[in-house]
Amino acid sequence: MSKSIAGSESPSISVIEESLSLLARRASLPRIHAYMNSRAGTQLDWYAYIALYWIDAAGPMRLTELAHHFGVVPSTVCRHVQQLEREGLVEKTADPTDGRAVQLAPSDKGRLILAELKQARESTLEESLGSWSDKDLDTLAGLLTKLRGDLAHFGSEPLLAEAS
């Protein structure tokens, strides 16, 4: 194991970094998201999808908490949350700790959209990895789970660790 990424002598670290970067870029390409929307029969834009995902994964939260997670001011995420509200994908409920504030939670329709998009991604992965053996799939799943856990502390946001 290398001591420092910058000074890494391990070619494997370089391959892992390049592969993860490429996968992350590909996953966020508009055409990939449009393809998944098409498979799921939805029209949710990328940023609204990410907001809905985090609202669902972390549980009910205030708009300010969602903005903090993304490292932006609340007005930046407000537009996407308004889209989610207009489409009936999130609901506002009274914050139990402060009756003047509201929390966001996915509606039943929002959870259904997330499930449809998850199914579209899983079907695409099944098709793409169809030639892999069960053993290879189990190995990759185990290593990705381990990697996700090992990298969770880099986000240092409780939201990231809780949603894993």
Q: Are 104 and 61 in contact (CB under 8 A)?
A: yes
30-40 and 108-128 helices cross at what angle (nearest 10)?
A: 110
Task: Determine the Cα–Cα distance for residues 42 and 117; give it in Å rounded to an integer.
Answer: 8
In a domain, 35, yes or no: yes
Q: Could you report the per-residue pLDDT of 82-102, keeping only the tens digit for each?
A: 999 999 999 999 988 888 889
Q: Could you report the per-residue pLDDT of 23-40, keeping only the tens digit for each?
A: 999 988 889 989 999 999
In a domain, 133, yes or no: no
- pLDDT band at 6, cuts 50/70/90? low
Question: Is residue 161 predicted with pLDDT exceeding 60?
Answer: no
pLDDT at 156: 56
**Percentage of the chain modeled with pLDDT above 90:** 62
Q: How many domains does the chain have?
A: 1
Residue span of the structural domain in which 65 resides: 11-128
Task: Determine the Cα–Cα distance for residues 46 and 52; give it in Å rounded to an integer.
Answer: 10
Task: Determine the Cα–Cα distance for residues 89 and 43; give it in Å rounded to an integer.
Answer: 12
Classify residue 36 by burial, with Cβ atoms within 10 Å: 0-12, 13-18, 19+. buried
**CATH code, 120:** 1.10.10.10
Task: Determine the Cα–Cα distance for residues 133 and 131; give it in Å rounded to an integer.
Answer: 7
